[in-house]
Homo-oligomer: A and B are copies of this chain.
Amino acid sequence: MSENQRQILIVGGVAAGMKTASRLRRLDPEAKITVIERGHYLSYGACALPYVLAGEIGELDEVRRTTNGTLRDETFFARVKGVEVLTRCEALRIDRENRRLEVRFLDDDRRQTLSYDALVLATGSSPLIPPLPGTELDGVLALKKVEDAAAIAELVRPEARAVIVGGGLIGLEMAEALRARHMEVRLLEMQPQVLSGILDADLAEQVHRTLRQNGVELHLGEALKGIEEKDGRVGRVITTSGSYPADLVILALGVKPNVELAREAGLKIGVSGAIAVNERMQTSDPAIYAAGDCVESRHQLNGTPLYLPLGSTANKQGRVVADNLGGIDSAFSGVLGTLLVKVFGLNVGRTGLSKEAAEKAGFEPVSILAPSPDRVHSMPSARPILTRLTVDRKSRRLLGAQIVGPGETAKRIDVVATALSLDATLDQLAEFDLGYAPPYSAAMDPLHQAANALRNKLDGLADSLSPLQLKQRLDAGEKILLLDVRSPDEYAEVRIPGATLLPLGQLRSKIAELPKDRLIVPFCKISLRGYEATRILLAAGFDQVAYLEGGILGWPWELERGVVEVKAPTAA
* Cβ-closest chain B residue relative to A445: B312
- 30 A-B pairs with CB atoms under 8 Å apart are A26-B532, A27-B461, A29-B535, A47-B376, A48-B376, A48-B378, A51-B376, A58-B380, A68-B525, A79-B505, A81-B532, A169-B437, A312-B445, A313-B433, A315-B443, A316-B431, A332-B431, A333-B431, A347-B440, A351-B433, A410-B440, A411-B414, A414-B415, A414-B434, A415-B418, A417-B434, A418-B434, A421-B432, A422-B423, A422-B424
Please determine whether B417 and A419 come into contact, CB atoms closer than 8 angstroms.
no
Chain B residues with Cβ under 8 A from A421's Cβ?
Answer: 424, 428, 431-433
User: Which of the 9-residue segments A116-124, A218-226, A261-269, A334-342 touches chain B?
Assistant: A334-342
Task: Please give the count of copies of this chain that the complex contains.
Answer: 2
Contact of A435 with B63 at beta-carbon distance under 8 Å, contacts A340-B440, A415-B414, A443-B311 already known:
no
Q: Mark A477-492, 1 if CB is under 8 A from B, else 0.
A: 0000000001100100
The yes or no answer to A271 lying at the interface (CB within 8 A) is no
Chain B residues with Cβ under 8 A from A310's Cβ?
Answer: 436, 443
Chain B residues with Cβ under 8 A from A424's Cβ?
Answer: 418, 421-422
Please measure, in the bound complex, the distance between the C-alpha atom of A319 and the C-alpha atom of B65, giving whole angstroms.
50
User: How many whole Å from A219's CB to the nearest CB in chain B?
Assistant: 24
Please determine whether B418 and A435 come into contact, CB atoms closer than 8 angstroms.
no
The yes or no answer to A368 lying at the interface (CB within 8 A) is no
Please determine whether B80 and A532 come into contact, CB atoms closer than 8 angstroms.
yes
The yes or no answer to A94 lying at the interface (CB within 8 A) is no
The yes or no answer to A108 lying at the interface (CB within 8 A) is no
The yes or no answer to A444 lying at the interface (CB within 8 A) is yes
The yes or no answer to A245 lying at the interface (CB within 8 A) is no
Please determine whether A377 and B443 come into contact, CB atoms closer than 8 angstroms.
no
User: How many whole Å from A437's CB to the nearest CB in chain B?
Assistant: 4
Q: List residues of A (408-462) whose CB comes within 8 Å of B's CBs.
A: 408, 410-411, 413-415, 417-419, 421-424, 428, 430-441, 443-445, 448, 452, 459, 461
